Chains A and B, each alone.
Chain A
Amino acid sequence: MPRKYVIGIDLGTTNSALAWAAPPPDPRELSPVTLLGVPQLVNPGEVRDEDLLPSFLYIAGANDFPAGSLELPWPSADSSMVVGELARKRGTENARRLVSSAKSWLSHAGVDRTAPILPVSAPEGVTKVSPVDASRRYLEHLAAGWNAKMPEAPFAEQQVLVTVPASFDAVARELTLEAARKAGYQDPVLLEEPQAAFYAWIEKHPDWRERVQVGDLILVVDIGGGTTDFTLISVTEGAGELQLERVAVGEHILLGGDNIDLALARHLEQQLAGQGKKLDALQLNALWQQCRLAKERLLAEDANRGEHPVTILGKGTGLVGGTIKTKLLLEDVNRVLLDGFLPLVTSEEMPQRRRMGLAELGLPYAADAAITRHLARFLRQQAAASEHGSVRRGPSGLACPTHVLFNGGVLRSPVVRDRMIEALNNWLRAEGMAPIQPLLGEDLMHAVARGAAYYGMARAGRGVRIRGGIPRTYYVGIESAMPAVPGLPAPLKALAVAPFGMEEGTDLKIPAREFGLIVGEPAEFRFFNSATRKDDEPGALLDGIEEELEELSPVEVNLTGAAGEMVPVTLETVVTETGLLQLWCVARDGRRWKLEFNVREQVSR
């Protein structure tokens, strides 16, 4: 049998990547991780290998591209679905056929994520796809790219790891796995992105054990194109060896590098409007790209310029005459970026919350652009949650990390990193703690895919594993046995069924409690989770649905059995090897029912 490769896949919001390793026969050894150049259409009729596959899907119409110009090196069942760089490019010209940020939709509980809803603003007659389907196509493309480059090692026979944001809840994880399976992946394993970034750092630093010590707390800050993700990893000791334990994950924050570039573009657009120059949508898009470039140059390590020219070339063939020119000033970048997105706040300042009665159907973007306030909230939340694992804290209860690892394109800029460190150090100083030490990763755009491949080897006994388990506590809603009150639903209690940190490949029984399960007719189940309540033991019953509990999509199922029968059951929780959460109801006679997270229902309360 041919040797199995380990393949790590970063299914990103704006970019995806694939890294692989060929584990050596000796399980104690590790081998280097390599990035795969993913073949993709970059222009009509032109396929090129690129390290990143832009996570964009363009649903091409009959006249979008010249005939035969969408051929890939592999046969494609549906060539009207363009994935990658060409999709991104063409999407700027015809946005209504472009699917973007499918991953954020995948984690959006307010919509039916298996229904064809994307692109949201597609005109009548365009075949829409579901968030799951779009993700499936990115995964399929990566697999096909692998097969084209490595024909002797079919993708379906390799060990595959797919990363998800740590903030993904059980439903979003399940949907990611569903997309992977539909893409033909065999037994894919999920891994959290910040953990993958940390594995990538370990891969680059085989001497990592000398760089951290027991009691250290490592903060992973991952700012991608569209999302921000925080994780805390604690360094502990077990069996005389250093161990790593993921002790906290943040909420899903839809805020990232694209917001920063757009803010800069809007700033310049207003300036130009003041001079009587109006930009159309395409020009604004060009301005957006130019701002990204100008920002990167102004903030680069060796930059010493105070401004960078920004030019929008004329629209028609009159190029010079129609050129609009302006410049991006370093002080503007600093003002927008540092004061707008990374203000120096105290650790007590919490992000503003959106409280709107009506909102447009769309992604729940973060209402507060200040990443530092979101970070303060994250570290503060760990104060509210009492002890789980060994979290290093200051006198006020604030979690006090000793190290910080940065990941994501935005953090390639030293100015941004320094600002984050400055904010963190202000908080640490107020708590009487020593300054934080940055851990430098090298390849911030590809670290997640690399780290996933490394983890694939670590799973097989080749290196350290971060212990983590599920990053939230899960609850099921239980109707309380109380006399009915007209006009009021029976009060709901929340029963903890899966504790924070429950490890993959384990199961547990909810002790000494029987519940009435309605079978034979449709019944609704409500699920909740919390990233902050970490001490609720399985079986703990909360008297009400508290603020800290977030509701998942409700589940309506019709379990087999005699109509209207109420079966006394006990509950069992299973976390599968791949990180999926399952809840089983077991009757005294041995009958078992599995409650699946269903995503067809919308959360409408």
Chain B
Amino acid sequence: MTVRLGPWSVRLAPRALLVCAALALAGCTVAVAAVATGEYTLPVRDVLAALTGDGTPAADLVVSRLRAPRVVTGLLVGAAFGVSGAIFQSLTRNPLGSPDFIGFTAGASTGGILAVVAGGSAMTIAGGALAGCVTTAALVYALAFRGGVAGHRLVLVGIGVNALLLAVNSYLLTRANINDAATAGAWLTGSLSGRGWDHAVPVAVALAVLLPVAAVAARPLRMIEMGDDAARAAGVRVEAVRAAAVAAGVLLSGTATAAAGPVVFVALAAPQVARRLTRSPGVTLGASALVGAVLLTGADLAAQRLLAPTQLPVGVLTAGIGGAYLALLLRKERH
């Protein structure tokens, strides 16, 4: 189905639209459930009232100061990881291509740990994580560049850099004093607890700027999936598109990691779940963003409630999701 408006046209798949609508609904449901429940349960009516600004003072405090920022951060971070994962899976033409495995997340961790050791505040840690992620990405890109960046070389170089940074991270953790090591350890598992609006805003800005970039790059990326030569023959400026896509993916995963810590496997699982739900031939950005948001907020809700009153870090749950996802991949495509 194609919608034309003047010189622009957009191809729409009805199934994808339906799935996206359903995912958005699911995201809202999870979000409202996360805001309404907890140690202090609120009726949904009060939640909605507090959100529109005329709730009781108590409900207002719990909803808009404590729970809503966490949920919104979760939604945005999940969406950012989902889009970032979709971009890298398209670039590497591999359902396992994910910023988690090619060093970017590990680089963000290195930056975060260094900031912790330097005695930084929460904002410095976020800045360190973003800087670490971008530096690592630049390093991987430069090392993989030989008259162009082929997807497989990006993956292999990234895996090497990833191994190096994991070693550096564990070295830093063994050298740090016990308090810093505990702080860094908590941040490294990935957690949404205690996140305020100041965590959510940078991710929102990044999404607002980079989602359009990613959306424009989506179509040429599909062409590149068919091979560099085929894409070039179709008029795609392969290296330019690839550089733009890498930049968008890196900045998204960097800001997301800065906000929530290195939450692994969301970027890995979201694009493939989205692809299966929409039954689209390639990875889809919009649906990936929505799946990422639902996955992360859902995992965070489960992490808070499963063993209540013990609060698990959400990273433990997403690691479980990653394992389940790999098992599924193994079972489903074996024939």
Chain B associates with chain A:
no
Interface residues of chain B, those whose CB is within 8 Å of chain A, are none
Interface residues of chain A, those whose CB is within 8 Å of chain B, are none
